[in-house]
Amino acid sequence: MTRRLCVVLGRDVSRSLSPMLHQAAAAQCAVDLAYVPVSCADDAHFHRAIDALMTLGASGANVTIPYKRLALARSHRVSDAAAEMGAVNTLTLTSEGTLVGDNTDGPGLLRLFEALPDERFARVQLLGAGGVARAVGWALARRGVDARQIHVCARRRAQAESVAALVGAKAGPFERIAGTTLVLSGLPVEASIAERAMSEWVDTAVRPMIYDLGYQRDARETPLTARARAVGLEAVDGRAMLVEQAALSFALWTGSDVIAVAHAMQQAMEEAVSALP
């Protein structure tokens, strides 16, 4: 069996949970896999890493902050989803030396959104307009959410409008949106931001679900989900999204069944959480 080489590329991925997830999937699917985190200090470093992977005949790479748009530009061809989101988080290196860009963030989120009841999407507030926000917009549109009920809030109005334009949503500054039923946060995972979000920007009147798209590197809950649960709200963090997008990436590289892969990854995540002191 030939060993496959895959990596995760980002600014600082030294504590990424991705290696744990992919190794669990490899064990489940009997795939001989080496999955390595590679931190890239700048754009030039990212390009050198891609060159090295192509020389080594690697199978693929996951790409995270802040290189998803650079990965799009570097790809020889891209999937429709990646083109629509304007970002690549998964690179597949073919035997012909072609670099194929895809985005599993959006489809991964869509799988999670499909498990939520329609009433959760009656009024949606997206906090932040960074890289993951475009994937959120893509997934909301495919979930059939009424664009008139989606509000994108960000510090930079131009960024908010760019994301909102993907689905015809509303854009504006950080503010409390009355009657919100689902809050999706693409904001940094920081206690001070969580405090401000819950006290100033989230309307708790109709008990919205709080979905923090970020996650803690040690698999603990985020400050935002902890703050939301403290006031009795349903809250989840980005670990579920991480599992879904990772499972789709692994399936792209290996042809494995995505359901079995996601199950193995979810089990590994649960074991990591249960082992926390």
Instruction: Give pLDDT tens digits for 34-69.
Output: 999 999 999 999 999 999 999 999 999 999 989 999
Q: 107-237 has which fold?
A: Rossmann fold (3.40.50)
* Per-residue model confidence as pLDDT tens digits over 263-273: 999 999 989 88
Q: Which CATH class is domain 4-103+240-274?
A: alpha beta
Residue 219 has pLDDT above 80, yes or no: no
Please tell me the distance from the alpha carbon of residue 118 to that of residue 80, in angstroms, as a whole number: 26
Residue 113's pLDDT band, with cuts at 50, 70 and 90, is very high
Amino acid letter for position 169? A
The mean per-residue pLDDT over the stretch 208-230 comes to 91
Any idea which residues carry the catalytic annotation?
A: 68
Residue 218 has pLDDT above 80, yes or no: no
Percent of the chain with pLDDT over 90: 86
CATH 3.40.50.720 maps onto the chain at 107-237
- Band of pLDDT at residue 131, cut at 50, 70 and 90: confident
Q: How confident is the model at residue 247 (pLDDT cuts 50, 70, 90)?
A: very high
State percent of the chain over pLDDT 70. 99
User: Where in the chain is CATH 3.40.50.10860?
Assistant: 4-103+240-274
pLDDT tier at 1 (50, 70, 90 boundaries)?
low
| CA distances from residue 194 to 17, 60, 73, 125, 189 in whole angstroms, order as listed | 22, 35, 33, 15, 8
Q: Find the helix packing angle between 131-142 and 157-165, rounded to 10°.
A: 30
